[in-house]
Structures are given as C-alpha cells and as structure tokens.
C-alpha cells in the first residue's frame, strides 16, 4: 500500500514481507558471468543473487542451483527469468504458504514498479512466525 513507507492501523504491529526482506542481497546485471557473481555472493555469505537493471528493476533470480552453473555462462542465460515477486505489504502468513507450496527458498520483494526492496528467505519467515506464535501464547 505505502511502498514500504510507514502506515497506520492494527496490521502495523505484525511484520510483513518488506520488514524481513534482506536488503543486503547481492545484485548483478545481465551481462556479468556466473563466476564473478558467484564469487561476490559467496564472499558475502550468500548463495543467491538478484539480477537487476541500473534502476534496480528485477529481471531474474539466481538461487543456489543457478549460481553453481557453468562459470563462463552469462547471467542472462543462467538466471531464472521473471521470478514471482511480492510487494512489501504481503503478510508473512501468505508468504509462507506460497513459498512452501511452491518450494521456494527465497522470493524477491519489490515495489509496485518492480524495483528490488530485498530478498525474503523462507527460513526468516518461518522463524518470525514461530516467534509471533510464541508471543501470542504468552498473552
């Protein structure tokens, strides 16, 4: 709704996709080679990278499988093109369902015009939801 900007209302007490999306995910362009991106991602402790243009509009995604492909291949040939993206306001509950159903270890979170906000990891969503349930039990 607010493209990641603050909102008001009862929902604002619950974290959502944009709150948990990791902003420090490595990014790369279409014309880089797998070897360069893999090295950069690993150096930062990642096994994923998001393919963007100069305006950070998402073109594709490299998960662990793609990052392990032939080192000399161009990213535009190695990436998963047009991954499903989600807006920052999507609830964690909805995200977890989708990610589990579609066996996604991560999903790019973007603004309505396709610019990368960050990469949401299924493990982060599951952990946040587990904490929410624990908190709710305490009340």
Partner 1 sequence: MAKEIRREEVRRLVAAGAQLVEVLPSPEYEEEHLPGAVHVPLRRIEAQANDVLDRNRAVIVYCWDTA
Binding site for partner 1 (CB under 8 A): 1-3, 6-12, 87, 89, 112-113
Rounded Cα distance between 133 and 110, Å, is 27
Q: What is the nearest approach in angstroms of partner 1 to the Cβ of residue 6?
A: 6
Q: What is the nearest approach in angstroms of partner 1 to the Cβ of residue 57?
A: 13
Nearer to partner 1, 10 or 31 (CB): 10
Rounded Cα distance between 66 and 17, Å, is 24
Rounded Cα distance between 27 and 53, Å, is 9
Measured from the Cβ of residue 40, the count of other Cβ atoms closer than 10 Å reads 15
Nearer to partner 1, 15 or 126 (CB): 15
C-beta of residue 38 within 8 angstroms of C-beta of residue 46: no
Nearer to partner 1, 48 or 92 (CB): 92
The DSSP 8-state label assigned to residue 23 in this structure reads T
Q: What is the nearest approach in angstroms of partner 1 to the Cβ of residue 92?
A: 14
Nearer to partner 1, 45 or 112 (CB): 112
């Amino acid at each position: 709704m607010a493209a990641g900007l603050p909102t008001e209302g009862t929902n604002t007490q619950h974290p959502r996709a944009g709150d948990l999306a990791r902003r420090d995910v490595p990014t790369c362009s279409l014309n880089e080679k797998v070897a360069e991106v893999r090295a950069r991602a690993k150096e930062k402790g990642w096994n994923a990278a998001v393919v963007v243009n100069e305006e950070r509009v998402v073109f594709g995604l490299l998960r662990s499988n793609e990052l392990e492909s032939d080192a000399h291949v161009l990213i535009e040939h190695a990436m998963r093109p047009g991954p499903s993206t989600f807006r920052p306001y999507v609830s964690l509950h909805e995200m977890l369902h989708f990610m589990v159903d579609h066996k996604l270890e991560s999903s790019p979170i973007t603004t309505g015009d396709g610019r990368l906000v960050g990469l949401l990891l299924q493990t982060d969503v599951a952990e946040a939801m587990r904490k929410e349930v624990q908190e709710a039990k305490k009340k």
